[in-house]
A and B are shown apart, each in its own frame.
Chain A
Amino acid sequence: MKRKLKEVVKVPLSVDERWDLIEKISKQTVEFGAYKHTLKDAIAELTVKPLTGIPVAIAVIYGFWSFFCDFAGTLFTDGFMVKIFDEHWLPWLQSFFLGGLGNPFYALMVDAGHIEDGVLVASDNCFEAFGVLTSGLFIVFGVVLWAVLAFYLIFAILEDIGYLPRLAVLVDTVLHKIGLHGYAIVPTFLSLGCNVPGVTATRPLETRKQRFMMMTLLAIFVPCGAQIGIMQELVPELMGWIFLTLAIGYLGFGFILNKIVLGKSPELIMDVPPYQMPTLRNIGRKLWIRTSRFLLVAVPFVLLGSIIVGLMYLTGAMDWLAAVFGPLLMVWFGVPSETVAPLIAGFLRKDLAVGVLGGLMAQGIMTTFQVFTSVVLLCIYFPCLATFALMLKEENWKEILGSFASLVAMVFVYGGLIHLIGIMLGVA
């Protein structure tokens, strides 16, 4: 055996040759006895084989999504948070906060109001008030926190049961086509809660190419809990189409990136543990660690974004940007001029921007297709401030520039393509 090994080590081996060698060695060194499959083994096999595994995955994702909608949307946001923020917190702030409607500081912190028949009137809900203490806090604690909590709860359960590694094995073949492997499902799922831990979860990936690709794909095509929560609240009927468009973008753009980015995508050996009952203690700890990380890292950025967007509106910077970029966005993406400001504000606060777009649709200013285009653009065109800050930390300046360039190219190509498809279908 030693002699044989010495012989082969002289020549560099390809991946396939290595596997062959491993098989030969194991055949000669490992004794195989009769092993009777248990029910757990049989179930584990079923969840990994594509023919049976895909329907199971469809059911699991259904459960994931369904739980998310009812937990975050129906129970907490609509059931309690809207009442707390709109019926108690907003009126209380409106009556006690210094300044009053029209005062710049009041507008920044509490309520910018809106014009109705030429008169500035107070907002009656925290979505439209646009203050740091109203919209800012409502988005964070009224909507996003519950969305993130729901995602991480299910994520932790799937992880502890042992389903997630099997899902990774199941999607491995597809993800290999875009230079990633099954493990990529972990950062992708984590990003559906919040992109910050998603980006952190790219660390186990071995090469810089894989990490760069993963982070770029996450930042562009994976909407976070904040966006999903608000999209579900405002445009639930478009969710299926939005996710389909993003998934096509994720795979298509990943394929292109894999071809043009230099570097290797080596194999990664993942531990696939047997199925087991999750323990409450473990789930609780995971949930706490991930949610507290979201609260500590992402929330300050969300509030900072609120302040910057508010200041841009107050100082007129937003109008200036809208005037400069307006024509380009209107011609290339086919969205009306009213959407320019929220699209620009979306650089800092995607969730709030989706809220404004929903309002525009309700007023009949935008068609459903225009809302769809704008929401998809918002999802893909820039990561939120917190993710951006983390990417600065995780990537070198070249990679950051690369991510940024891909992002700009992607937005124009993809946004233009959606507009073109809309024109061809006669809906744009």
Chain B
Amino acid sequence: MNENEKKFGQIYFAVLGAVALAFGAAELIASAGEGFTWGILDSSGASDPMFLPWKAIILLSASLFYLSSVKNFAEVHQIAKAVMASIMIWIVAGMAIWARIASSIPGEETWFNSLEGFLASYAPPYCPEVFLLPFSLVIVYYILKEGET
């Protein structure tokens, strides 16, 4: 990993960690009340109130992993922290997407959903983890880079 990649990684994961921290804190606050839906961002926990604080704890942990990985980022143990944080986000976001897939296939009255109903199942709003998912994928580059060395 060259100096530029290290610098980029430091700044990138510091920002991502801060955003994840904000999302996690918002989810934790939301889990104490009714939750919130803000534009295409949804943290209402309507499907299961038990999941919202659980998700919030995971997001907060992931954010702390990201933030603690920033110092001396090129070191393998530090990258491992960012990798673990990303994996935690993949688990939570993956399950949010999986929940949509599972509910999109069967229809209300019919065996299978209509095409319109199927596509509508994937419509916004989305939970914060889903927004973090694409940004967390940047870690794949560093994993591949680490594999080369």
Contacts and interface: CB of A to CB of B under 8 A. Distances in A.
Contact of B88 (A56, A69, A71): A56
B102 A83 contact: no
B99 interface: yes
**B: interface residue count bin:** 35 or more
A45 interface: yes
B77 interface: yes
A320 interface: no
B61 A62 contact: no
Nearest to B54: A62
Nearest to B109: A83
Given A46-B81, A66-B51, A70-B102, A39 B95 contact: no
Interface centre among A55, A59, A79, A239 (most CB of B within 10 A): A59
Contacts of A69: 48
B55 A62 contact: yes
B53 to A, nearest CB: 9
B87 to A, nearest CB: 8
Interface residues of A, number: 33
A62 B106 contact: no
A59 B77 contact: no
B49 interface: yes
Interface in A34-91: 36-39, 41-43, 45-47, 52, 55-56, 58-60, 62-63, 66-67, 69-71, 74-75, 78-80, 83
B25 interface: no
Contact of B143 (A39, A52, A55, A74): A39
A300 interface: no
Contacts of A23: none
A236 B98 CA distance: 19
Nearest to B59: A59
B91 A74 contact: no
B147 interface: yes
A79 B117 CA distance: 14
A316 interface: no
B38 interface: no
Interface string B59-91: 001101100000000001101110110011001
A198 B95 CA distance: 26
A83 B84 CA distance: 41
Given A58-B58, A60-B91, A62-B55, A38 B99 contact: no
Given A58-B57, A237-B49, A70 B98 contact: yes
B88 A239 contact: no
Interface of B: 48-51, 54-55, 57-58, 61-62, 64-65, 76-77, 79-81, 83-84, 87-88, 91-92, 94-95, 98-99, 102-103, 105-106, 111, 143, 146-147
Given A62-B95, A78-B106, 11 more contacts: A45-B80, A46-B81, A55-B57, A59-B58, A59-B62, A60-B91, A63-B95, A66-B98, A70-B99, A79-B106, A239-B50
12 contacts: A38-B146, A39-B76, A39-B146, A46-B80, A52-B81, A56-B84, A56-B87, A56-B88, A62-B95, A67-B95, A79-B106, A237-B49
